[in-house]
Chain A
Amino acid sequence: MLKGWKDIPIGGIIDEPGKSREYKTGTWRVLRPILHEDKCVHCMFCWLYCPDMAIVIDSSGQKPKMVGFNYDYCKGCGLCADVCPTKAIEMRPETEFIEE
C-alpha cells in the first residue's frame, strides 16, 4: 500500500537502511520473463546478470538451481533471456497476464 503525505518522512528522505526491499519496482515491467524448465541447464548466467537480483534460485543442494523469478522486483529488462545459452527464458507481454 502506498502511503499518504502525512505518513512519510519529509524531503524524500529514507529514514532506515535496507528499505528498498519494501519498494516493489516490478510494476514497471512491460515484458515478463517466463522459464521453460525443460531447457534450463542451471548455468546461473541469468542469476549473475540480472540487475535487480530477481532470479530466484534454490541453493540448498550441491549445485544451485534456477527456480524462477521474483516478480516484485523484476523490471522486465530481458537481460536474463538474452544471456541464457539455451533460450530457456521467454519474454512475454504483461498484457497476457492481466487478471480479470
Chain B
Amino acid sequence: MYNIDLKKAKAMTGAEAVANAMRQIEPHVVAAYPITPQTPIVEYFAKFVADGVVRTEMIPVESEHSAMSAVVGAAAAGARAMTATSANGLALMHEVVYIAASSRLPIVMPVVNRALSGPINIHCDHSDAMAERDSGWVQFFAESNQEAYDLTILALKLAENENVRLPVMVNLDGFILSHGVEPVELLPDEVVKEFVGEPNVMYPLLDTEKPVTYGPLDLYDYYFEHKRQQVEAMENVKKVFPKVAEEFQKISGRKYDFVEPYKLEDAEYVMVALGSTNSTIKYVVDWMREEGFKVGALKIWMFRPFPKFQVQQYLNGRKGVIVLDRSASFGAEAPLYEAVKSALYNVTIRPQMGSYVYGLGGRDILPEHIRSAFEDAISGNLIVDEQRYLGLRE
C-alpha cells in the first residue's frame, strides 16, 4: 500500500497519468493508432508533441500492426520507443507483439484493457491481455491510476536492463482507470528523467561502425536456442525487478513488488485478482473484517513472468483461495486461476480453491458479488474444478 500526498496530487484520469509518464520519459519514437479506450493516451501525448513539450517523433500510423512494426523498427535502430493500445488493436498487433519479444526489444506499451470482439464491446475485461500472455512480454496490471503511472516509468527501466531486454505491457482497466479520475502524484520531471537515464542501447541498427542484422531466418538449428534465451530472460526479470522496484521506491516512496498482500497476516480466506477490482476486494475485506471474518487479498501486480514463488509463500496453508478472472479461457480454466492453481500444486498445505469469472465486457463487479464468493469459501463450498460466475444472469 502507498500513500498519496493529496497536497502534491492532481486529479486526473489513468490515460492522463500514463500520458504524463510518457511525457517525462520522452521516448524518441511513439507510433500509435487510436482505439477506445486507449484513445485519450494518444490524444494527450499528441498534444505534448504538437505543443513542443517533448521532442518525440510521433508516427501516426494506419493500423496497430504498423504501430507495433514502427516501434519494433525504432527500437532495433536504438531508439526508446513506445506505443499504447487496447483490445482489437492489440489483437491486430499480435504477430508483431511476438516479434518485439523475440527480437528482445525493450518497448513499453500501456494496454488499456478492453474486451476482445465479438460481439463487439468497448468495455473492460482482460481478454486482450490474456491473448498475449505467452507472447514473451512482461505483463503488469495496475490497480489505480497512480500505479498505471508508476509502473509505466518502472517498466522502462526493467525492459532496458541488459539481463532482461524484453518488452513490457502495463495493463490498466479500460474506462475504470483510463477514464476514471483519481488523485495522482506525478514525480518531478527531472526525477523521472534521472531515474530512466540515458537509453541502455544494445545492438543498435544505426551503429554503422558495428553493423548488425535483426530478424534473420532462424530454423531448426537455432530457433530453439533463442526461445530458451527468452525463457531465461523471464527468469532474470524475477531477479532484476526487485532492484528496479527498490530504486523506484527511493524516488517515489512507493513500493512495488510481484504481488501485494492485503490483510493477509491471519487471513484464512484469500482472494486473488488482477487490476482495479482489487480496490473493491479491499473494501470488502475491510467490511467483512469488521464483522470478524478472517479474510484477505492478494493482488497480482506482475502476471508474466508469473510470481509462482510469492504466490506459494502467501497462499500455502490458507483454508480457502478464491481466484477472480476478468477473462475466460474457453475449454480450459480461466488464466489467473490456472496459474494460481498450478503454483499451489506443490505447497505443503493446499488450500481449497474456487474459480470465479466476472466482469466480462465491462459487467459491473459489486461488493456483494465479492462478498458472496468469500462466503462460499467460508462455508466450505469451494469446488476446485468448478468455474463459477459473478454478476451473470442464469
Query: What residues make up the interface of A, taking CB atoms closer than 8 Å to B?
Result: 2-5, 8-17
Q: Mark B205-243, 1 if CB is under 8 A from A, else 0.
A: 000001111111010011101101100110000000000
Partner of B212, one of A4, A8, A15: A15
Nearest-Cβ distance from residue B223 to partner chain A, whole angstroms: 8
Check B104 for interface membership: any CB of A closer than 8 A. Answer: yes
Q: Is the CB of B226 within 8 A of A14?
A: no
Check B165 for interface membership: any CB of A closer than 8 A. Answer: yes
Chain B contact residue count (CB 8 A cutoff): 23
Hey, which chain B residues are within 8 Å of A10, CB to CB?
Answer: 104, 165, 226, 229, 233
Partner of A12, one of B226, B228, B232, B233: B226
Partner of A13, one of B214, B221, B223, B228: B214
Q: Is the CB of A5 within 8 A of B228?
A: yes
Q: Is the CB of A14 within 8 A of B225?
A: no
Q: Is the CB of A12 within 8 A of B222?
A: yes
Hey, which chain B residues are within 8 Å of A5, CB to CB?
Answer: 225-226, 228-229, 232
Q: Mark B328-372, 1 if CB is under 8 A from A, else 0.
A: 000000000000000000000000000000000000000000000
Please name the residue on chain A nearest to B203 by beta carbon: A13
Hey, which chain A residues are within 8 Å of B211, CB to CB?
Answer: 16-17
Nearest-Cβ distance from residue A24 to partner chain B, whole angstroms: 10
Q: Which 5 A-B pairs have the closest CB atoms?
A: A11-B104, A5-B225, A14-B213, A5-B228, A11-B103
Q: B210, B221, B226 — which one has the most chain A CB atoms within 10 A of its CB?
A: B226
In the bound complex, how far is the Cα of B227 from the Cα of A12, in angstroms?
A: 10
Q: Is the CB of A13 within 8 A of B225?
A: no
Nearest-Cβ distance from residue A60 to partner chain B, whole angstroms: 32
Nearest-Cβ distance from residue B105 to partner chain A, whole angstroms: 8
Q: Is the CB of B221 within 8 A of A12?
A: no
Task: Please name 13 pairs of A and B residues whose Cβ atoms are closer than 8 Å in the assembled complex, sorted by A.
Answer: A3-B225, A5-B226, A5-B229, A10-B233, A11-B165, A11-B203, A11-B226, A12-B216, A13-B203, A13-B212, A14-B216, A15-B212, A17-B211
Hey, which chain A residues are within 8 Å of B105, CB to CB?
Answer: 11
Q: A13-B103, A13-B203, A17-B211 are in contact. Are A8 and B216 (CB under 8 A)?
A: no
Q: Is the CB of A12 within 8 A of B103?
A: yes
Hey, which chain B residues are within 8 Å of A4, CB to CB?
Answer: 225
Check B86 for interface membership: any CB of A closer than 8 A. Answer: no
In the bound complex, how far is the Cα of B108 from the Cα of A89, in angstroms?
A: 55
In the bound complex, how far is the Cα of B247 from the Cα of A96, in angstroms?
A: 64
Please name the residue on chain A nearest to B205 by beta carbon: A13
Q: Is the CB of B214 within 8 A of A11?
A: yes
CB neighbors of A among B88-105 (8 A):
102-105
Give 20 A-B pairs besides A8-B222, A10-B165, A11-B229 with Cβ atoms closer than 8 angstroms: A3-B225, A4-B225, A5-B225, A5-B226, A5-B228, A8-B226, A8-B229, A10-B226, A10-B229, A10-B233, A11-B102, A11-B104, A12-B214, A12-B215, A12-B216, A12-B222, A12-B223, A13-B214, A14-B216, A15-B203
Q: Is the CB of B213 within 8 A of A13?
A: yes
Hey, which chain A residues are within 8 Å of B165, CB to CB?
Answer: 10-11
Nearest-Cβ distance from residue A88 to partner chain B, whole angstroms: 32
Nearest-Cβ distance from residue B200 to partner chain A, whole angstroms: 14
In the bound complex, how far is the Cα of B233 from the Cα of A39, in angstroms?
A: 57
In the bound complex, how far is the Cα of B221 from the Cα of A96, in angstroms?
A: 24
Q: A5-B226, A5-B228 are in contact. Are A12 and B218 (CB under 8 A)?
A: yes
Q: A5-B226, A5-B229 are in contact. Are A12 and B212 (CB under 8 A)?
A: no
Hey, which chain A residues are within 8 Å of B203, CB to CB?
Answer: 9, 11, 13, 15
Please name the residue on chain B nearest to A14 by beta carbon: B213
Please name the residue on chain B nearest to A11 by beta carbon: B104
In the bound complex, how far is the Cα of B101 from the Cα of A12, in angstroms?
A: 11
Nearest-Cβ distance from residue B352 to partner chain A, whole angstroms: 40
Nearest-Cβ distance from residue B308 to partner chain A, whole angstroms: 22
In the bound complex, how far is the Cα of B210 from the Cα of A17, in angstroms?
A: 8
In the bound complex, how far is the Cα of B102 from the Cα of A12, in angstroms?
A: 8
Partner of A2, one of B103, B216, B222: B222
Hey, which chain A residues are within 8 Å of B212, CB to CB?
Answer: 13-16
Nearest-Cβ distance from residue B160 to partner chain A, whole angstroms: 13
Nearest-Cβ distance from residue B169 to partner chain A, whole angstroms: 18
In the bound complex, how far is the Cα of B213 from the Cα of A17, in angstroms?
A: 8
In the bound complex, how far is the Cα of B104 from the Cα of A5, in angstroms?
A: 14
Hey, which chain A residues are within 8 Å of B102, CB to CB?
Answer: 11-12
Please name the residue on chain B nearest to A12 by beta carbon: B218
Please name the residue on chain A nearest to B217 by beta carbon: A12
In the bound complex, how far is the Cα of B252 from the Cα of A81, in angstroms?
A: 71
